[in-house]
């Protein structure tokens, strides 16, 4: 059944070209991921990161690896991935609730959305420069980069340092460009597919690490413990994927009636056409996980910088903060789960307010049966949204802490939930787009 569906997709020339174009752009991206930044020893960086004993920094490097597919350890020109662009997109969305002019751009149709996209790119550039500077500073701190190679305020090293920052920023903008090309000419959301490709690149290495463990003699062997751990990991991953798909597809359909006119033999008659508003249980996606991780990582990063402070009191205080926010501490997971749930409500509310659903329905003459248009409709929809978002918030909170139940000693477990949720979301969105493309061409859908 699936093979016949795939064969039918491949027989459509323009759809086949879209798929080949998408795969070609992803191949170019993976080739670029192995181009190193000039003047930096990638081997020294990889060795320093793998041998680093600071759990907080390991967590930070692991978060960056999620979005770069190992490019951080290679220190390629795309070592920052598209994370600055994601941050810029979130900033622009939040600013729309603060600056009315930005909110009005959303109402101007395609031209307004293009201007918002352009603004997002402009914001991405300084954010990429700042992240490149901070990332370089952290690598200098752990000994991955020689101090003589990174100093923006030293005449001898200013130009090489500036060249490194510009190279990393240019790499991020190149990925943004590739992502937009995929969105326009390929299948799926380009930025999401780039992150998806990064995550899938790490899968073979994760499986190998689960299978192979160091023996007492210093070699490598496959033992029963690693096989059992791998089976448990696969079982947990399958269960989480099943639940994620259910929650991702779950929605509350609110019936809406639109006034229509139909021609009969006796003349025109008015009527109502019934449709629905699909309110998703998890409309925030993986954004709350990224928000919560960023909030928890910020004090850790600051604490690592302040650990070299000459002030003993300040140094001790930040050391306690770093210990408190260590992933091996159970309080960390409690705080992480609560933050994910809170950010789910926050982000869902921000996006919902930008849609002005009640106002748009009133302008179109539509109404919800039994509910007055205007403020009553707004209150009714808000009530439904908050109820179903509560389930989505609890779900994301449990997804965030579920991997820690398998192995609490691994600081990278916090990243697996976000990775799995991204993979599920990107696959489902891409399949939906394929379904829409097939239906447009009068073929039976990919899923039906």
Burial pattern 20-40, b for ≥16 Cβ within 10 A else e, equals ebbeebbeebeebbeebbeeb
What does the pLDDT read at residue 217?
Answer: 41
**Boundaries of every domain in the chain:** 1-222, 234-411
Pair type for strands 212-214 and 220-222: antiparallel
pLDDT value at position 169?
93
Half-sphere exposure of 366 (CA within 13 A, CB side): 18
* pLDDT of res. 396: 85
Q: Is the CATH number 2.30.30.90 carried by domain 1-222?
A: no
The predicted structure's pLDDT at residue 60: 62
Which parts of the chain sit beneath pLDDT 70? 1-3, 5-6, 48-71, 148, 205-227, 229-230, 261-272, 300-301, 303-311, 327, 403-418, 441-448
pLDDT confidence of residue 284: 81
Which superfamily does CATH assign the domain made up of 234-411 to?
SecY subunit domain (1.10.3370.10)
Report d(CA 420, CA 406) in Å as an integer: 15
pLDDT of residue 66: 59
- Residue 219 is predicted with a pLDDT of 46
Let me know the angle formed at the C-alpha of 262 by 365 and 440, rounded to the nearest 5 degrees. 85
Spatial distance between the Cα atoms of 209 and 438, rounded to a whole number of angstroms: 40
Residue range 29-58, pLDDT digits in tens: 989 888 888 877 777 777 766 665 555 556
Q: What's the pLDDT score for residue 40? A: 78
Looking up tokens 């609730």 gives 97
261, 271 Cβ separation under 8 angstroms: yes
């Amino acid at each position: 059944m699936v093979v016949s569906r795939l064969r039918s997709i491949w027989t459509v020339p323009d759809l086949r070209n879209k798929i080949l174009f998408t795969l070609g752009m992803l191949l170019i991206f993976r080739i670029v991921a192995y181009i190193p930044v000039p003047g930096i020893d990638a081997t020294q960086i990889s060795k320093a990161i793998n041998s680093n004993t600071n759990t907080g920094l390991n967590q930070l490097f692991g978060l960056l690896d999620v979005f770069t597919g190992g490019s951080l350890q290679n220190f390629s020109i795309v070592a920052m991935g598209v994370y600055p662009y994601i941050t810029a997109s979130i900033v622009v969305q939040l600013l729309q609730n603060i600056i009315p002019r930005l909110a009005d751009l959303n109402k101007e149709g395609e031209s307004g959305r293009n201007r918002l996209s352009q603004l997002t790119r402009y914001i991405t550039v300084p954010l990429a420069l700042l992240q490149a500077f901070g990332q370089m500073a952290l690598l200098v701190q752990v000994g991955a980069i020689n101090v003589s190679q990174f100093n923006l305020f030293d005449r001898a090293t200013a130009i090489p340092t500036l060249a490194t920052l510009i190279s990393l920023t240019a790499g991020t903008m190149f990925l943004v460009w590739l992502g937009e090309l995929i969105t326009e000419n390929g299948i799926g959301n380009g930025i999401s597919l780039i992150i998806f490709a990064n995550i899938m690149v790490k899968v073979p290495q994760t499986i190998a690490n689960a299978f192979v463990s160091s023996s007492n003699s210093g070699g490598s062997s496959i033992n029963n413990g690693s096989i059992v751990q791998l089976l448990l990991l696969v079982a947990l991953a399958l269960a989480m994927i099943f639940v994620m798909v259910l929650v991702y597809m779950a929605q509350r359909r609110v019936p809406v009636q639109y006034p229509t006119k139909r021609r009969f033999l006796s003349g025109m008659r008015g009527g109502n056409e019934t449709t629905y508003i699909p309110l998703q249980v998890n409309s925030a996606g993986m954004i709350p996980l990224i928000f919560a991780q960023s909030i928890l990582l910020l004090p850790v990063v600051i604490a690592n910088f302040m650990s070299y402070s000459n002030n003993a009191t300040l140094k001790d205080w930040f050391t306690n903060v770093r210990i408190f926010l260590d992933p091996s501490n159970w309080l960390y997971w409690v705080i992480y789960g609560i933050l994910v749930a809170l950010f789910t409500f926050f982000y869902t509310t921000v996006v919902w307010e930008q849609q002005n659903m009640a106002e748009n329905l009133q302008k179109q003459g539509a109404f919800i049966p039994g509910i007055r248009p205007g403020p009553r409709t707004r209150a009714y929809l808000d009530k439904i949204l908050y109820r179903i978002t509560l389930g989505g918030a609890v779900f994301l909170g449990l997804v965030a802490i579920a991997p820690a139940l398998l192995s609490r000693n691994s600081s990278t477990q916090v990243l697996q939930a976000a990775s799995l949720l991204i993979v599920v979301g990107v696959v489902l969105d891409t399949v939906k787009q394929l379904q829409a493309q097939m239906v447009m061409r009068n073929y039976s859908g990919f899923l039906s």
